[in-house]
Structure 1
Amino acid sequence: MENESYVKIITEWDIVAARQLGRNVAKELGFGTVDQARITTAISELARNIYLYAGKGEMQIERINKFGKKGLKVIALDNGPGIDDIRRVMEDGFSTSGGLGAGLPGVKRLMDDFDITSSVGKGTTIQVVKWLR
C-alpha cells in the first residue's frame, strides 16, 4: 500500500465524505472527469451498501502502482451479516433494498477489477480498482 486514506461509514454523511475523498484522490492521480464520475459512483454504491446492510464499516481508498501502471483501489469492509449468495447479488436487477442503484453488477462494470469475499455472520470485503489509462 503506497498511500491510503479511509472513511468510517456510520451515517449517511459518511457516504458523501467517501465520495469526496475518492474524487479528490482520482483527480490527484490524473483521472479524467468521466472516470472520476465512475469512481465516485462505485464508491457511493459500495458505501451505501455498507450503510444499508451492515450498519457500519469503512471505505479505504488507495493509490496503487503495479507494473508501471497507476490506479486507484477502493476497499469496502464491513462486519455485517454477510452475503449468503454472491452469484445472486451479482445478477443485474437484483435488489433487496428496492433501490434503483447500479448495485454490485454496476460497480463491477464501472471499475476495471472487482473482487468480493463474504462470510455469513462475519461480513463482506469488496475490492475494486480503476487503472489510469
Structure 2
Amino acid sequence: MNFRSSVEIYTEWDIVAARQLGRNEAKKVGFGTVDQARITTAISELARNIYLYAGKGKIEIERVSEGKMSGIKIIASDEGPGIQDIRKVMEDGFSTSGGLGAGMPGVKRLMDEFKVISEAGIGTTITTVKWLH
C-alpha cells in the first residue's frame, strides 16, 4: 500500500511545509538522520525551483516499495514555463537565479533515481526516488 500526500507550493512557507512533510515521511519509512537530511534538501531545492520559476506547483511525497526494497518518491510538478535546456540545467554551477547552481545536479546526487520531463509552456515534472539501503 503506497501512502501519498502533497503540499501545494505558492509561498516560501509552503517550501517549509513540504520539507517537514518529507522529513516525517522519511522517518516513517525508516531512513536515518543523514538520509532524512538528503531527502529534505532535495525537496527544498525542488520546491524552491517551483516557487522561483513557475510561481506555483505541487510537491507529492509517496512511500514506495519494490520487491523487498522500500523508499520514498518525490514528485515536483508545475505548469510553469518549462525548462528550455535540461542538459544545461543539469550542469554543476549553472544558475539563472544567481544561486550556487547546485540545484538540479545536487538533487540528482542526493537521490537514487531522477527523471525530468519538461515542455515549454506546459510545465515540468521531476520524479525522484530514495531507496532505503
- TM-score band, normalised by the shorter chain? over 0.9
Letter in 2 for 1:75: I
Cα offset, 1:100, TM superposition: 2.5
CA contact (8 A) 1:45 1:101 kept: no
> Which residue does 2:23 correspond to in 1?
23
Distance 1:72 1:102 in 2: 22
> C-alpha offsets along residues 101-133 of structure 1, whole Å, 9 cap, x if unaligned?
621000000000000000000000000000001
Local SS of the residue matching 2:105: helix
Letter in 1 for 2:86: I
Distance 2:104 2:114 in 1: 9
Cα offset, 1:88, TM superposition: 0.3
Local SS of the residue matching 2:7: strand
Local SS of the residue matching 1:47: helix
Alignment of 1:37-116 (within 5 A): 37-100=37-100, 102-116=102-116
**1:90–1:101 Cα change, 3 Å:** closer
1:12 paired to 2:12: yes
CA contact (8 A) 2:92 2:101 kept: no
Distance 1:115 1:67 in 2: 21
Question: How much is the aligned-residue C-alpha RMSD, in angstroms?
Answer: 0.9
Moved more, 96-105 or 34-43: 96-105
Local SS of the residue matching 1:16: helix
> Which residue does 2:122 correspond to in 1?
122
Local SS of the residue matching 2:46: helix
TM-score normalised over the length of structure 2: 0.98
Local SS of the residue matching 1:5: strand
CA contact (8 A) 1:60 1:74 kept: yes
Letter in 1 for 2:67: F
TM-score normalised over the length of structure 1: 0.98
Cα offset, 1:2, TM superposition: 1.1
